[in-house]
Structure 1
Amino acid sequence: MKVNPIYPYILTLVILLSGCDRPEKITFKESDISIIPRPKELKFREGAFVFDRETVFVTGEEYRKIAEILTGKFRKAAGWEPEIVNSQPSGNYVAFRKDETLEDEAYALSVTENSVTISAAGYSGFLYGLETLRQLLPVEIESAALQGNLTWAVPTVEIQDSPRFPWRGLMLDVSRHFFPKEYVLKVIDGLAFHKMNILHFHLVDDQGWRIEIEKYPKLTEIGGYRVDKEDMHWNARPVPDPSEKATYGGFYTREDIKEIVAYAKENGIEVVPEIEMPAHVMSAIASYPELSCKREPIMIPSGGVWPITDIYCAGKESTFEFLENVLTEVMELFPSRYIHVGGDEATKTNWKTCPHCQKRIKEEGLAGVEELQSYFMKRIEKFVSSKGRVMLGWDEILEGGLAPGATVMSWRGIQGGWEASAQGHDVVMTPVSHCYFDYYQGPQDSEPLAFNAYTPLSKVYGFDPVVDSMSVNQARHVLGGQANLWSEYIPTTSHSEYMIYPRLTALAETVWSPKEGRDWNDFTARLEHMFKRYDELGINYARSAYTIMADAKVDKDQKVTIALTTEFPDTDIRYVLNEENLASADKYTTPIEITGTTTVRASRFENDKPVGKVFEKTFTWHKAVGKKVTYANEWNKNYPGSGTYNMVNVLRGGKDFHDGQWQAWIGNDMEVVIDLEEPAELTKVTVGSMENQGAGIYYPIRVEVLLSDDGKNFKKANEIQRDYAKNGNADLKDFPVTFPPQSARYIKVKATNLGKTPNGGNTWLFVDEIVVE
């Protein structure tokens, strides 16, 4: 079917409404039609349909719940509720019409001046048609409070719509931090509103077991709670002492699960449970130590664990008996076609020495512990298949050989999905590069704590589940894509919502709408209208895409310019320099040139007033700005910063080590020489660095400054030393080296890498600027 443009022209609709002394005019224009995700085909027609007290919804009992989504909103916002009837009147109605020729989730929406008709083959199609109609109504329809004398009009349109992919999902991690049932139901509401159809429910991990299993009550009695260390950074929490009381946690009862699943079904959502194995199961082993190789009692960790060595024993039959019993109860509660069994990040140290595991390897003729994991997952897949379900796992289940009926969820990039599809397996694409919503979505200095990586809104919108290098047959195996919200750094429901929206809105369009119809400028214009709906719905969405960011450049003439940008195109940015008042800000149009230490303050403006967070950054001018820098050890190719001028471009890096302002070395020291071109009196050299031990980045343990007049013979000016210290945070620190006034042209700066982490891996050294004074 040929895809027509949605907005081919601006159409003005004039509606003459009676009931007043003079007719009221309502005008619709292109920008008023802001449907997300963007429909496949949309055509405008002159006229409008107006909802009033006499409007009825025509549907049978089968789809009554769908109609009630909108009639209930009229009850709250308009003060009257359209009646739901079985027989169709001559006009002023919304009718659900069955059309078996449409695909399962497809719908057609026809709005005339007299009526609204939603055609679909079944439940999901009618639901999505109604959600589109909802977005055509004024945003006030989302309000829980009476809105007064509004006209509830929608433009007359013809829409033909269907999803690009059958899997459109969100993974919600409730193990690391437990979220109440009421919040899960709210998440389901949001998924349905965005035409998403999968809630991937991460119920089990090291830090908590969140589902009641009748046969094994200790899983929630013990595994559902941990020692409360919420006042500490996730990766700096000590191993709990057995004498400490476990008070943080919670779990869903069987009745809770039934309610969540039933509510999801009403909203067209399939809930896919994830029961992790063989790793990420310390909560289970703490409950039943005999499930591990060592059988030793352990405490549930209160925070991060790496590497994950306390895993299920693959050699004992009792392990598989336990897992089959657990999965049986899980499948009784979840009718989902798919059962997710994890399969990721298993460190097999204990398997190598466990007599049970080694016996299994020998008896099964396996090559080693990698094939033992394959044996483990294939055996679980056989059991899941015997129950008429499909086993789903993270892409590590490819290692050692993939079970024949398994579906792969590719998270470590696209390679796992590519390989699985090439082998004829279905795949769900959810790469860290585009789909991890626990990553920062704006500059780290202006955002709440998150995992130290960066996935902005525009990056999510650029996601495509089908890889260009896939064959036509491989592409057929791509079920779709989903976002993942891991909750290590997300302790509250408000924070969770902030990380979901509006990135879920962007993802929804990438997995629903035709690829050729996607356009970032058009999407952001529609998104600004969606924000108004979020305001009415009380959704704590992030405004990070509006955050002003700066990019500094130094050219060959040593001229420094500062460019100000946001993710949104054509943002009205205004700025002042130094002590000027923001009220008298100049409109930003071209990069700002600076010739000395300058503080830039900027804001986004709406209606000539500053809104949102104010950007403020001081660019410190120093004697080495724009000077030539030579490197003894070239930086790592993955972190080049801005190239040879990076150390002397006055722009400092943020806590996001991917922000393009950092140069880095792994295992090696930094050694550079700066040529000032002529002698200058010097008293201090400062090296800016970062530490993020969870990512393997450590502060230097020594910074040394040497001076020279000829660039050959250097004399030490001074040095500072710093011992390694454990640090769970991501921090920035300047290392100043001071010395008595000396004249020199050349400055050699050495920063010594720690070299090895406490666990033995190579360490990264990150540097953003060398300030010479």
Structure 2
Amino acid sequence: MKFIFKHIVLALVITLMSCEKEKVFSIEDIQLIPKPAELKLENGSFQFNKNTKFFINNDEQLQATEMLASRFNTVANWNLEAVKKAPSSNYIQLTLNKDLAKEAYKLNVNSDVIKIEASNFSGFLYAIETIRQLLPAEIESNKLVKNKTWEIPNLTITDAPRFKWRGLMLDVSRHFFEKEYVLKTIDRLAYLKMNTLHLHLVDDQGWRIEIKKYPKLTEVGAWRVDQENKPWNGRYTPKLGEKATYGGFYTQEDIKEIVAYAKTRGVNVVPEIEMPAHVTSAIASYPEFSCLEKPVTVPSGGLWPITDIYCAGKESTFEFLQDVLTEVMDLFPSKYIHVGGDEATKTNWKTCEHCKKRMKTEGLHDVEELQSYFIKRMERFISSKGRVLIGWDEILEGGLAPGATVMSWRGVKGGLEASKQGHDVVMTPGSHCYFDHYQGPMDTEPIAWGGYTPVSKVYEFDPVVASMTEDQAKHVLGGQANLWAEYIPTTSQSEYMIFPRIAALSEVLWSPKTNRSWNEFYPRLQAMFTRYDFQGINYAKSAYTITAKTQVNDTTNVISIALKNEFPNSDIRYTLNNSDLNKEAIPYKKPIELKETTTIKAALFKDDKPVGKVFEKTFNYHKAVGKKVTYLSKYSDSYKGAGASNMTNILRGSKNFHDGQWQAWIGNDMELIIDLETPTEISKVSVGTMDNQGPGIYYPTKVEVFLSNDGKTFKSVGAIDRAVKVNPNIEIKDFSINFKSQKATHIKVIATSVKKAPTGGGAWLFVDEIVVE
């Protein structure tokens, strides 16, 4: 009896220990991105161990399992075996089901076996990627993970993409990224079930693909004079012969490796060879293919207008482009070949004898129709090779080539028009899909192109426009993010701009629209951040950043400050003045009202600790607050700020010059008078200004302050003179003039504008808040 009793006790202990280890999953534990079309959670779980096997039928299925096997090899030091005979249990079975659509899959997990059904490689791969995301986040680690139970919940998933084009465009012309980063990006696209990598291989600032028949395209066109220390649009035009050291290109062997690797991740690589514009790098290499045939250099930075374009009148131009595209198509099996087609300034075409002759011969009325001829001719060549021409929505102008597909970037208008004509479209409007835009407040973000596209706005994107007919909607292939690289000099910065916004886009393009919402998505996105940490991705945490919406009562000068971030119901806490944010933070419940000079610090709290960037702003109740301002030189109608009260309303402009707080003058000085109403003791006047040389905004060259006690006779009390300096950054600076304390009723301030930008064109002067102390 004692022997039997001991064994009963031992069995109970083992059972209790087993129960303690077994995890009970809830639907909240499933943090998949993109969200599956259908998911049913069941009781129990499947545990991986070193004896887990993959039951496969062919090499393609083996390839689909390679990524997960590799992960387990890294984190657990397991070499999971692939077999062609079913084990009794503890295996993952891959089965071909031709009734499923391409990229679709079925996943059934129970405690003994995981079953995957799919009709093609991508379907199997996406099911494996789903299993990867169901596993603990530590599966993404790059080192051995000890004492971890690798289990996933029992469930059934039936899944398929909403759209067949789910893409990302990398601009490797403006800044060149090495092959290794492209391969890493392909991995990360597959992780989110994205299937298209669009490589922008050609632009004015660099030709990035080896063409054996035309070696100068990379010998000359792939290199530019290094001016990386200057703002993109503030770089000088290099002289002919000046040493070019910045650049790079992909050899044809590199391209073959990229394409082959992408195939193992279900990613199609679409090459873009720009034409007829954005090709100064090609014209610098072979001037004979331009209208003027004049030697030029590869630009180091911004170029506008783009007039050095291919000559549409010369047969040699088309022979050159056909040769180039033939080599490109030999390297890229992609069905789609992108030809750009955007932003061509056709000034030279209008005067070129070759182009005029072409228009006459072809019966073309204007240069827009000549561009249409150009694109249609290239479309015929591309289609003769069994491929499809795709281009930016400018290819609609003058008439669209019959077999062309349109990529709509200037809003959705191009997509609407093309789909109405019966053409396929890829929707990629700048408003939601341009990842070179800021994703958080400009004051807290690295320099970007402009615009504001936070992750929540990306999630609002829908490639199908509400006004489309059912037939038009059928022509929408999907959508794509574009990362133009003028302000992306490093791979780390590239990651920062792509992630986490690409996760939002992946769900928009994959998941059923009726099956998702931002409130349900953002907790999964926050869980994804942990996986990004393990993967070593330099993702942006901008969604955590606190923003403030401020309003001022013009009668009482009371400021109301509403705080928020992108995640609803966040635990935002704040302090006033010198209180410690870690110890004395106040939970934010309603807008904060201020009546005196105050500094607010705020942050998002998680587990009682601040996360993300700390918001800090001082609202300065200076002596001119609410006082009347008379403008002796009128500000531009384009930048009115808050109107007459703008310079003395306490609220300050940010680095986003479109924020509605700035007043601006172009080619003109600012001159204004502030009426203090009564004699007021003052000793300092500060003028808030901006320097953002890319769009032509410059600090003033001089600031001078005058005082008066009658509003008529003014005396200068101080001035600051400064020379124009090249500045690659966006900056806000107060120019402060200190003087002996004295009483005055009126203050005149003159800020002298640069008037003409050093690179040509008018210069803007942006001013906000005249602070009187």
Match of 2:182 in 1: 184
The aligned counterpart of 1:688 is 688
Residue 9 of structure 1 corresponds to none
CA gap 1:746/1:305 in 2 versus in 1, 3 angstroms: same
| Cα distance, 1:287–1:442 mapped onto 2, change above 3 Å | same
Equivalent residues in 2 for 1:229-268 (5 A)? 229-268=227-266
Measured against aligned partners, the alpha-carbon deviations of 1:47-70 in whole angstroms (never above 9, x if no partner) come to: 211112232212222211111111
Q: Aligned letter for 1:220?
A: T
TM-fit CA distance, 1:382: 1.2
Determine if contact 1:717/1:739 at 8 Å carries over to the other structure.
no
Q: Select the residue among 104, 107, 110 that pairs with 1:109.
A: 107
Which residue pairs with 2:325 in the alignment?
A: 327
Moved more, 500-509 or 673-682: 673-682
Q: Is the 8 A contact 1:704 1:716 kept in 2?
A: no
Per-residue CA distance 1:280-299 (angstroms, 9 max, x = gap): 11211122121112222222
Corresponding position of 2:625: 625
The yes-or-no answer on 1:163 pairing with 2:135 is no
Q: Secondary structure of 1:228's partner?
A: coil
Deviates more, 1:59-68 or 1:583-592: 583-592
Say whether residues 1:34 and 2:38 are aligned partners.
no
Q: Is the alpha carbon distance of 1:644 and 1:280 closer, same or farther for their aligned partners in structure 2, counting shifts above 3 Å? A: same
Cα gap change, 1:304 to 1:111, in 2 (>3 Å)? same
Give 1:714 shift.
5.1
Q: Which residue of 2 aligns with 1:283?
A: 281
Q: Give the Å deviation of 1:392.
A: 0.8
Moved more, 701-710 or 358-367: 701-710
Contact map agreement 2:552 2:560 (CA 8 A) in 1: yes
* Kept after mapping to 2: 8 A contact 1:235/1:728: no
2:8 is matched with none
**Does 2:560 align with 1:561?**
yes
| Corresponding residue number in structure 1 for 2:9 | none
Question: What amino acid does structure 1 have at the position aligned with 2:216?
Answer: K
* Alignment check: 8 A CA contact 1:572 1:587 kept: no
Given candidates 403, 417, 420, the residue that maps to 1:419 is 417
CA distance in 2, matches of 1:337, 1:541: 32
Q: Distance in 2 between matches of 1:558 and 1:622?
A: 11
C-alpha distance in 2, partners of 1:254/1:454? 37
Single out whichever of 17-26 and 466-475 deviates more from structure 2: 17-26
1:36 partner SS? coil
Structure 2 counterpart of 1:215, from 191, 213, 216: 213
Q: Secondary structure at the match of 1:263?
A: helix
| Equivalent residue, structure 2, for 1:336 | 334
Shift of 1:740: 7.5
Other-structure match for 2:654 = 654
Q: In structure 1, what is the Cα distance between the partners aligned to 2:534 and 2:445? A: 23
Gaps (5+ residues) in structure 1?
1-15
Superimposed CA distance per residue, residues 414-441 of structure 1 (whole angstroms, 9 cap, x where no aligned partner): 2222222222222111122111112222
Q: Which residue of 1 aligns with 2:584?
A: 585
1:7-58 deviation per Cα after TM superposition (whole angstroms, max 9, x unaligned):
xxxxxxxxx9969587424232333111111112222112211112232212
1:55 counterpart (34, 44, 52): 52
1:572 aligned partner: 571
Secondary structure of 2:66's match? helix
Identity over the aligned pairs, expressed in percent?
A: 63
Q: In structure 1, how many angstroms separate the alpha carbons of the residues matched to 2:686 and 2:423?
A: 54
* Distance in structure 2 (CA, Å) of the matches to 1:765 and 1:748: 17
In the TM superposition, what are the counterparts of 1:285-304 in structure 2 within 5 Å?
Answer: 285-304=283-302
Aligned to 2:395, the other structure's residue is in SS state: helix
**Residue deviations 1:699-751, cap 9 Å, x none?**
567778788999xx755565969799474533323355778877666767676
* In 1, Cα distance between equivalents of 2:450 and 2:165: 28
Deviation, structure 1 residue 399 = 1.9
| Range that drifts further, 743-752 or 761-770 | 743-752
SS in 1 for 2:468: coil
Q: Say if 2:604 is the partner of 1:607.
A: no
Once the two structures are superposed, the pairs formed by residues 266-415 of structure 1 within 5 Å of their partners are: 266-415=264-413
User: Residue 116 of structure 1: SS of its match in structure 2?
Assistant: strand
Cα distance 1:401–1:193, how it changes in 2: closer, same or farther (>3 A)?
Answer: same
Following TM superposition, by how much is the alpha carbon of 1:135 offset from its aligned partner in structure 2, in angstroms?
0.8
Q: 1:643 deviation in Å?
A: 6.4
SS in 2 for 1:135: helix
1:350 CA displacement: 2.0
Moved more, 550-559 or 667-676: 667-676
Q: 1:94 & 1:645 partners in 2: Cα distance?
A: 69
Shift of 1:134: 1.1
Counterpart CA distance in 1 for 2:545 and 2:466 is 32
Query: 1:279 touches 1:308 (CA, 8 Å); kept in 2?
Result: yes
Aligned with 2:23: secondary structure?
Answer: strand
Distance 1:108 1:662, change over 3 A: farther
Give the conservation status (yes or no) of the 8 Å contact 1:554–1:645: no
Equivalent runs, 1:694-705 vs 2, <5 Å = 694-699=694-699
Q: Which residues in structure 2 correspond to 1:62-77 (within 5 Å)? A: 62-77=60-75
What is the distance in 1 between the residues matched to 2:350 and 2:759? Answer: 19
Runs of 5+ in structure 2 lacking a partner? 1-12
Give the count of matched residue pairs.
Answer: 756
Q: Secondary structure at 1:475's aligned position in 2?
A: helix
- Partner-residue secondary structure (3-state), 1:694: coil
Deviates more, 1:588-597 or 1:761-770: 761-770
Q: Which amino acid aligns with 1:116?
A: I
Q: Which residue number corresponds to residue 7 of structure 1?
A: none
- Aligned match of 1:8: none
CA 424–662 in structure 1, closer or farther in 2 if over 3 Å, else same: farther
Shift of residue 140 of structure 1?
Answer: 1.0
1:432-472 Cα distance to aligned partner (Å, 9 max, x none): 21111122222233322322332222221222222222233
The equivalent residue for 1:597 is 597
Question: In the alignment, which residue of structure 1 is the partner of 2:91?
Answer: 93
Give the secondary-structure state (helix, strand or coil) at the position aligned to 1:463: coil
How much is the aligned-residue C-alpha RMSD, in angstroms? Answer: 3.0
CA distance, structure 2, for counterparts of residue 244 and residue 474 of structure 1: 51
**Alpha-carbon distance, 1:142 to partner:** 1.2
- TM-score normalised by L of structure 1: 0.90
